[in-house]
Amino acid sequence: MKNFEHESAASFDEAVSLLKDSRKGRKVAIAGGSDLLGVLKEQILEEYPEVVVDLKTIPGDEYIKETEDGIEIGALTKLADIAKSPLLNEKAPVLAQAARSVATPLIRNVATIGGNICQDVRCWFYRYPHGVGGRMDCMRKGGKECYAVMGDNRYHSIFGGMKTHMTPCAIQCPANTDIPAYMEQLRQGNTEKAAEILMEANPMPMITSRVCAHTCQEQCNRCLSDEGVSIHSVERYVGDYILDHADQFYQAPEKETGRRVALVGAGPAGLSAAYYLRRAGHAVTVIDKMDKPGGMLTYAILNYRLPKSYVERLVEAYEK
């Protein structure tokens, strides 16, 4: 395990304050610790916490009591205490039996009800240890695929592993861009990942964000409560980020297929096809009768709507 700073909270307010303190890097709370310590030891996650905030030191939250509204259980109550509670065995026997069925007696003696609820994903693929062949970057860890959907193991969990339908905004997008997915990455502060998701469907967002009609905004779910998200503004921000980091996002493929492809027309369709063919490892040649590439982007759309510097920078990134 790596070293981390340990903070003992005296109250839940103090714990929240410690977890929100941005000066000390990534933080995580620990209640019982029976699950968290294993996650840290096996290096399941790429980011390791710099601070562990201990909730076990908070007094007065380990109780089982009957109130007018029912039975209250403190978040720091251990599973073993829940399993053997006379009150629960009398009035909520199913809950006591459930606690008694969890894990082993040793774990139940340290695991708390609050910590149990807040455990990380239990899927076997998600928890595959880094020391045994390398961690698996499944969908729950920011990857593109949920291995549990087609897996064969009783510990697998597929909640959130696949989308059952497209969102209204994505349906309206001509490229079917997964708008909610890259918005979620931006909310988490991960612009790089948002850019990768956007480029799965659109290799030139710095262009489309300036010329597209953005009918996706008309179908935004927020229109039901106030007004739609300014998707084109967000797309422009991500697109400009991509262009500013062109060496990172427009890289040569790792493997060449040895095949050659010729495309007639260097307009937006031709350039898009060239991007995905080149990414697949093919050698691509684009043929056009005009002096400059870009097609309508260069010769039809007025400069006030689409400054030609963006087209030139995009073509330059392609050529590199």
Length of the chain in terms of residues written: 320
The b-or-e profile of 120-148 (16+ CB within 10 A means b, else e) is ebebbbbbbeeeeeebbebbbeeeeebbb
> Is residue 311, in this structure, part of any structural domain at all?
yes
Residue 254 lies in a domain: no
Residue at 28 is within a domain: yes
Asked if 1 and 101 sit in the same domain, the reply is yes
Q: Report yes or no: 211 and 268 within 8 Å, Cβ to Cβ.
A: no
Q: Residue 144 belongs to what domain range?
A: 125-162
| pLDDT for the residue 162 | 67
DSSP, residue by residue, 225-257: TS----HHHHHHHHHHHHHHTHHHHSPPPSS--
The reply to whether 36 and 142 lie within a common domain is: no
Which stretch of 20-34, 59-73, 149-163 has the lowest confidence by average pLDDT?
149-163
Distance from C-alpha of 112 to C-alpha of 78, rounded to nearest angstrom: 4
Determine, yes or no, domain membership for 60. Answer: yes
Domain containing residue 62: CATH number: 3.30.43.10
Instruction: Tally Cβ neighbours within 10 Å of residue 3.
Output: 7
Specify the pLDDT at position 158.
Answer: 67
For residue 153, is it within any domain? yes
271 and 211 together in one domain: no
At position 200, the amino acid (one-letter code) is E
Q: Tens of pLDDT along 211-261?
A: 999 999 999 988 888 899 999 999 999 999 999 999 999 999 999 999 999
270 and 242 within one domain = no
In a domain, 144, yes or no: yes
pLDDT in tens, 222-235: 888 889 999 999 99
- Which secondary-structure segment (H or E) carries 52? strand 51-54
Same domain, 158 and 173: no
Contact yes or no for 76/58 (Cβ under 8 A): yes
178 and 104 within one domain? no
Decide if 137 is inside a domain: yes
277 part of a folded domain: yes
213 and 265 in a single domain? The answer is no
Domain check: are 107 and 182 in the same one?
no
Predicted confidence band of residue 198 (pLDDT cuts 50, 70, 90): very high
Highest mean pLDDT among 21-35, 98-112, 113-127, 152-166: 98-112
**CATH number of the domain within which 241 lies:** 1.10.1060.10
Pick from 230, 249, 268: which residue ends a domain? 249
* Overall number of domains in the chain: 4
Give the CB-side neighbour count of residue 273, counting CA atoms within 13 A.
15
Pairing of strands 283-287, 260-264: parallel
Q: What is the sign of the dihedral through the CA atoms of 183, 189, 191 and 196?
A: negative
45 and 70 both lie in a single domain: yes
Contacts of residue 244, defined as CB under 8 A and 6 or more positions apart, other chains included, come to none
Residue ending a domain, among 112, 142, 162, is: 162
Q: Which pLDDT score is estimated for 238?
A: 97
Of 199, 228, 249, the position where a domain reaches its end is 249
What percent of the chain is predicted at pLDDT more than 70?
96
Is residue 226 domain-shared with residue 198, that is, in the same domain? yes
Q: Does 111 share its domain with 212?
A: no
**Are residues 288 and 270 in contact, defined by beta-carbon separation less than 8 angstroms?**
yes
Strand order in the sheet with 27-30: 5-8, 51-54, 27-30
* Total-model pTM: 0.58
User: 97 with 142, same domain?
Assistant: no
